[in-house]
Structure 1
Amino acid sequence: MGVYELAFTMRRRVVEGAVVVELLGEIDILAEQVLGPRLEDVAGRRRGDLVVDLRGVTFLDASGVRLLLRARRRALRCGARLRVVRGGPMISKVIRIAGVEPAFTWLDAFPPSAVGSVPA
């Protein structure tokens, strides 16, 4: 039997006072099930800026969109400000087709890890 590797991951870091959550790889139904609770937990503990970075996402489906909407809902309930860094053209197309683009504050870029940043 082979070892199954997940096709996605999530990394957290603090940059300029914001918690940045980088989503990487294929954000599909399995990713939503695994990462959803983790992302909601981060959104629920944050009162300031939360940035979800989609630049490392290679695939996004309806489950991935649902993951983002759940994080947004949790952040709003807890008083956090959620912003999303745009992914590549295919990721942006899925967001546009799903009709959820107006639900988020979009960034074209976010500062890279600054000297002195600390793990989230």
Structure 2
Amino acid sequence: MRFAMGVYELAFTMRECVAGGAIVIELLGEIDILAEQQLGPRVEALSARNRSDVVIDLRGVTFLDASGVRLLMRARGRSVRCGGRLRVVRGGPMVSKVIRIAGVETAFTWLDSFPAACPSPFAGRNVPA
């Protein structure tokens, strides 16, 4: 949460869509304990759809801590239990470093960008954050 012009605003958001047959979850901003508490139930619900292909996009994440890693691990667990597949689009160097230090890098299927069948769903669209 950040304070700007006398108002507290959330430092994170999430957008979702279906692209190329996959449920795409785009995480944006600071994924910390507050983000996990706010976004976690929705991310888990989307990951729990029976046999769904889920892509979590971390390119817009500016900060990730252990709570954010926990959010990703919960989404992975839910997806696997429901017979689905979870892939993650790599974030920036800081995000990758946190995941590497946490020792969970091998738990995910990593994408450097969206596959051709799943173009960046938000490119060129004015989607509210």
TM-score by length of 1: 0.90
**Secondary structure at 1:112's aligned position in 2?**
coil
Please give the alpha-carbon distance, in whole angstroms, between the structure 2 residues aligned to 1:71 and 1:93: 20
Q: Deviations over 1:62-118 (max 9, x none)?
A: 00000000000011111110000000011000000110000000000012228xxxx
Partner of 2:40: 36
Q: CA 1:69–1:83 in structure 2 vs 1: closer, same or farther (change >3 Å)? A: same
Say whether 1:67 aligns with 2:71: yes
Counterpart of 1:76 in structure 2: which amino acid? V
Whether the aligned pair in 1 keeps the contact of 2:59 and 2:90 (CA below 8 Å) is yes
4+ runs deviating over 2 angstroms: none
Please give the alpha-carbon distance, in whole angstroms, between the structure 1 residues aligned to 2:68 and 2:50: 21
Please give the alpha-carbon distance, in whole angstroms, between the structure 2 residues aligned to 1:101 and 1:32: 19
Q: Deviations over 1:18-44 (max 9, x none)?
A: 110000000000000000111001111
Shift of 1:46: 4.5
Q: What is the correspondence of 1:101-116 to structure 2 with a 5 Å cutoff?
A: 101-110=105-114, 111-113=119-121
Percent identity between the two aligned chains: 76
Aligned length: 115
Partner of 1:25: 29
Partner of 1:117: none
Question: Pairwise CA RMSD of aligned residues?
Answer: 1.7
* Structure 2 unaligned residues grouped into runs of 5+: 1-5, 123-129
Please give the alpha-carbon distance, in whole angstroms, between the structure 2 residues aligned to 1:14 and 1:105: 19
TM-score by length of 2: 0.84
Higher relative contact order (CA 8 A, sep 6+): 1
**Secondary structure at 2:8's aligned position in 1?**
coil
Counterpart of 2:105 in structure 1: which amino acid? E
* Structure 1 unaligned residues grouped into runs of 5+: 115-120
Please give the alpha-carbon distance, in whole angstroms, between the structure 2 residues aligned to 1:4 and 1:78: 37
Say whether 1:78 aligns with 2:86: no
Please give the alpha-carbon distance, in whole angstroms, between the structure 2 residues aligned to 1:30 and 1:74: 20
